[in-house]
A and B are shown apart, each in its own frame.
Chain A
Amino acid sequence: MATTTTTAPALRRKRLRERLRTLGFLSPWLVGFTVFFGYPLVATVYFSFMHYNQIKAPTFVGLRNWRYVLEQMPLFGPALWNTLWLVVVMVALRVVFGLGIGLLITKIKSGAGFFRTAFYLPYLAPPVAATVAFVFLLNPGTGPVNDMLGKVGIDAPNWFNDPAWAKPSLVLLSLWGIGDLMVIFMAALLDVPKEQYEAAELDGAGAFTKFRYVTWPSITPIVMFAVVTGVVQTMQYYTQALVAGKLASGVSIGPGTVIEPGYPDHSTLTVPQLVYSLGFQNFNTGAACVLSLVLFAIAMAVTTLLMRRRAGLLSADD
Chain B
Amino acid sequence: MPRRPLARLASALGAGALLLAGCANPSTGSADDDPTKPVTLTFWHGWSEKNEVKAINDSIARFEKLHPNITVKSVGNVTDETINQALRAGGGDAPDVVTSFTTNNVGQYCSSGMWVDLDPFMEKTGLDKKKVFPKTLLDYTSYQGKQCALPLLADAYGMYYNKDAFKEAGIERPPRTMSELKRDAAKLTRRTKGGGLERVGFMPNFRLYQNSPDRLFAQWGPAYFDKDGKARLAKEGKIKAFYATVRDLIREQGGYGALETFRTSFGDEFSSQNAFLTGKLAMHLDGEWRGLFLKDAKFDWGTAPLPVPDDQADTYGRGFLTGTVTGIAHSSKHQNAAWELVRFLTADTDQVVAFANAIHNVPSTKAALTSPKLDPDPAFRAFLDIAQNKYSNALPPSVNGGQYVVSLRDFSYGVEAGKVHDLDKGLKELDDQIDADILQAQD
Contacts and interface: CB of A to CB of B under 8 A. Distances in A.
Interface stretch (A46-54, A97-105, A124-132, A212-220): A46-54
A118 to B, nearest CB: 30
Contacts of A51: 443
A251 interface: yes
Contacts of B266: 141, 250
B113 A254 contact: no
A240 interface: no
B100 A265 contact: no
A141 B262 contact: yes
Interface string A61-82: 0001100100011100000000
A142 B265 contact: yes
Interface in B118-173: none
A221 interface: no
Interface in A262-314: 263, 265-266, 280-284, 287
Nearest to A143: B264
Contacts of A260: 207, 409-410, 413
A158 B417 CA distance: 15
A55 B85 CA distance: 10
Interface in A6-52: 39, 42-43, 46-47, 51-52
Contacts of A4: none
A258 B402 contact: yes
B270 A58 contact: no
Interface in A148-198: 158, 161
B81 interface: yes
Interface in B391-427: 400-403, 405-406, 409-410, 413-414, 417, 419
Most buried by A among B101, B207, B269, B270: B207
Contact of B264 (A39, A52, A57, A250): A250
Contacts of A255: 46-48, 77-80, 100-101
B21 interface: yes
B21 A58 contact: yes
B443 A59 contact: yes
B114 interface: yes
Size band of the interface chain B makes with A: 35 or more
Given A68-B440, A260-B409, A55 B24 contact: yes
B143 to A, nearest CB: 14
B272 interface: no
B23 A58 contact: yes
Contacts of A282: 400-401, 403, 441
Contacts, number: 133
Interface in B232-279: 260-266, 268-270
B46 A254 contact: yes
A281 to B, nearest CB: 6
B366 to A, nearest CB: 25
B136 to A, nearest CB: 18
Interface in B1-57: 12-13, 16-17, 20-21, 23-25, 46-48
B247 to A, nearest CB: 17
Contacts of B433: 72, 74
B440 A252 contact: no
B24 A280 contact: no
B112 interface: yes
B59 interface: no
B209 interface: yes
B264 A161 contact: yes
Contact of B100 (A52, A64, A254, A256): A256
A140 interface: yes
A58 B23 CA distance: 7
B80 A52 contact: no
A255 B75 CA distance: 13
Contact of B24 (A58, A248, A263, A281): A58
Nearest to B400: A282
A68 B403 CA distance: 15
B312 interface: no
B22 to A, nearest CB: 8
A141 to B, nearest CB: 3
Contacts of A54: 23, 25, 88
Contacts of B46: 254-256
Contacts of B179: none
Interface string B189-203: 000000000000000
B217 to A, nearest CB: 16
Nearest to B405: A258
B364 interface: no
Interface of A: 39, 42-43, 46-47, 51-59, 64-65, 68, 72-74, 139-142, 158, 161, 248-252, 254-258, 260, 263, 265-266, 280-284, 287
6 contacts: A68-B436, A139-B264, A140-B261, A161-B264, A258-B409, A263-B207
Given A255-B79, A265-B413, 17 more contacts: A46-B16, A51-B443, A54-B23, A55-B24, A58-B20, A72-B436, A73-B436, A141-B261, A141-B265, A158-B261, A250-B208, A254-B48, A258-B402, A260-B413, A282-B403, A282-B441, A284-B441
Interface of B: 12-13, 16-17, 20-21, 23-25, 46-48, 77-81, 84-85, 87-88, 100-102, 104, 108, 112-114, 207-209, 260-266, 268-270, 330, 400-403, 405-406, 409-410, 413-414, 417, 419, 429, 432-433, 436, 440-441, 443
Top 9 closest pairs, chain A to chain B, by CB: A256-B101, A255-B46, A141-B265, A141-B264, A57-B24, A256-B102, A42-B16, A54-B88, A72-B436
